[in-house]
Amino acid sequence: MTELRTLKVALLGCGNVGAQVARILIEDADALAARTGARLQLSGIAVRNVNSKRDVELPQELFTTDAETLVKDADLVIELMGGIEPARTLILSALSNGACVVTGNKALLAQDGPTLYEAADKAGVQLSYEAAVAGAIPILRPIRDSLSGDRITRVLGIVNGTTNFILDQMDSTGAQFADALAEAQRLGYAEADPTADVEGHDAAAKAAILATLSFHTRFALENVHCEGITSVSAADIAAAKDAGFVIKLLAIAEKLTDADGGEGVSVRVHPTLLPREHPLAAVRGAFNAVFIEAENAGELMFYGQGAGGTPTASAVLGDLVSAARRLVLGGPQRTETTTGHVPALPIEAATTSYYIGLDVADQPGVLARIAQLFAEHGVSIEIMRQTIHKDAASNVESAELRIVTHRASEAALAATVEAVKGLDVINSVTSVLRVEGV
């Protein structure tokens, strides 16, 4: 066997994922060399404190606090530090030195992706980030390459395991949000400060990345409308269940065409009702899945583990081996060039169905008045169901009304809900949730 070329790999960060990447690079060195055509030599691991305790035992001499020097001498740089700085500066430095970069930094990509993409284009080197969305699931490469001859029309993703675990717990046990969150924290699925997950910020960053690749247009975090799951109640979940739905936090990117043929993309994250028979409804616990609708391919779904050190390391190494293979083959690296220029639409321009729960006065004519009000706002009702409750003690009757609308613009739906609230026969609006997959 001929002597293989050696490629130097610099690893920045040694947390949960980084430690597993280092372990696999060392343990599987021979198999990776066979598949790459070059030895991938881990030249160093940049960390803040070289003496910190790690999940995995790694050679102490690999650790350094001098990330800049490490990056200067690398053929391939893996950035797993997270956060904006110094990750951004180090990635830009690596790219301008001609190194290929693999990163899982969704926050940085969503906030400042265009700067990174342009730096990679300019240097003619590859910037890969499969690990940034849906952990181990190969999703970005299929969108970028396998679907490159198709037109994606819609992406619906369960891309945050923490919130999916919490909603799944609420659905299966009837727990309230706070209790399900506490359980997720106890099991290690949620962090002590769960804000980034439960407020939808993590999913929003991933939505921006998915939208960018799916629609060949650069979308940033500011283009994503974001609502978390903190206001989803056990009553919402129960009512949804009763009506044949499950509530999921979805990252959605969809192309919309207005009456004049103008195109735009709505990118948003919000709790969403899905029919129980929808493929995404069966995604349980902390698993992730991305559902794609394309003009020719039709419906596709990609399912797997969305987090965890070892699964996410699999995605990092897939990017690393792919970039290294191209270095071995020679010739220019593949870079991303955005060819589309579809505007990001505000949430008001999105079209969805709504599920609306109302506590109404039990008197004749209420349904007719509400239906009339929807019609006046141009919102068509698909299902309207009234349930009468009688309090055994007081003998007082109350009526609960559940409405599922057809797809209409967010603006029309919001205006309708506002108007409904003003009706004297409405005691309260108990829930307003968006519906997909119907």
Distance CA 189, CA 162 (A): 5
Q: Which of 148, 259, 368, 394 binds a second copy (CB under 8 A)?
A: 148
Residue 315 CA to its chain's centroid (Å): 16
Q: Which of 117, 189, 303, 374 binds a second copy (CB under 8 A)?
A: 303
* 138 is a contact residue toward a second copy (CB under 8 A): yes
Query: Which tokens belong to 432?
Result: 């307003």
Q: How many CA atoms lie within 13 A of 56 on its CB side?
A: 18
Distance CA 162, CA 288 (A): 10
Q: Do 371 and 384 meet the contact criterion of CB atoms below 8 Å apart?
A: yes
* Region near a second copy per CB under 8 A, out of 84-92, 159-167, 201-209, 303-311: 303-311
Decide whether 304 or 437 has the Cβ nearer to a second copy.
304
* 314 is a contact residue toward a second copy (CB under 8 A): yes
* 304 is a contact residue toward a second copy (CB under 8 A): yes
Per-residue buried b or exposed e for 383-395, using 16+ beta carbons within 10 Å of the residue's own CB: eeeeeeeeeeeee
Say which residue the tokens 């659905």 belong to: 171
* Region near a second copy per CB under 8 A, out of 91-99, 196-204, 332-340, 410-418: 332-340
Q: How far is the CB of 283 from a second copy (least distance, A)?
A: 9
Question: What are 381's strand-pairing partners?
Answer: 405
DSSP per position, 366-426: HHHHHHHHHHHTT--EEEEEEEEEE-TTT--EEEEEEEEEPSEEHHHHHHHHHHHHT-TTE
* 15 is a contact residue toward a second copy (CB under 8 A): no
Query: Is residue 206 among the annotated active site residues?
Result: yes
* 301 is a contact residue toward a second copy (CB under 8 A): yes
Q: How far is the CB of 106 from a second copy (least distance, A)?
A: 17
CA torsion 131-132-137-140 (nearest 10°) is: -100
- CA diameter of the chain: 89
Site string for a second copy, 96-115 (x = CB under 8 A): --------------------
* 32 is a contact residue toward a second copy (CB under 8 A): yes
* Region near a second copy per CB under 8 A, out of 58-66, 246-254, 312-320, 423-431: 312-320
Positions 197 through 236 that interact with a second copy (CB under 8 A): 216
Catalytic residue among 8, 106, 206, 241: 206
Distance CA 172, CA 180 (A): 11
Q: How far is the CB of 391 from a second copy (least distance, A)?
A: 40
* 153 is a contact residue toward a second copy (CB under 8 A): no
Q: How far is the CB of 364 from a second copy (least distance, A)?
A: 43
Q: Which of 118, 121, 150, 348 binds a second copy (CB under 8 A)?
A: 150
Q: Do 286 and 162 meet the contact criterion of CB atoms below 8 Å apart?
A: yes
Query: Which tokens belong to 187?
Result: 């099991």
Q: Do 435 and 273 meet the contact criterion of CB atoms below 8 Å apart?
A: yes
Distance CA 255, CA 265 (A): 4
* Region near a second copy per CB under 8 A, out of 195-203, 300-308, 350-358, 387-395: 300-308
Q: Phi, psi at residue 208, to the nearest 5°?
A: -65, -40
Decide whether 55 or 222 has the Cβ nearer to a second copy.
55
Q: Which of 53, 60, 61, 332 binds a second copy (CB under 8 A)?
A: 332
Q: Do 150 and 296 meet the contact criterion of CB atoms below 8 Å apart?
A: yes
Q: How far is the CB of 33 from a second copy (least distance, A)?
A: 9
Q: How many CA atoms lie within 13 A of 11 on its CB side?
A: 28
* 364 is a contact residue toward a second copy (CB under 8 A): no
DSSP-assigned letter for residue 9 = E
* Region near a second copy per CB under 8 A, out of 54-62, 87-95, 141-149, 204-212: 141-149
* 285 is a contact residue toward a second copy (CB under 8 A): no
* 24 is a contact residue toward a second copy (CB under 8 A): yes
The helix or strand, by DSSP H or E, that contains position 367, with its residue range, turns out to be helix 366-376
Residue 32 identity: L
Classify burial at 199, counting beta carbons within 10 Å of its beta carbon; exposed 0-12, middle 13-18, buried 19 or more: middle
**Count of residues binding a second copy (CB under 8 A)?**
59
Instruction: Indicate which residues carry an active-site annotation.
Output: 206
List contacts with a second copy (CB under 8 A).
20, 24, 28, 31-32, 34-37, 130, 136-138, 141-142, 145-151, 216, 279, 282, 294, 296-305, 308, 310-311, 313-322, 325-326, 329-332, 334, 337, 339-340
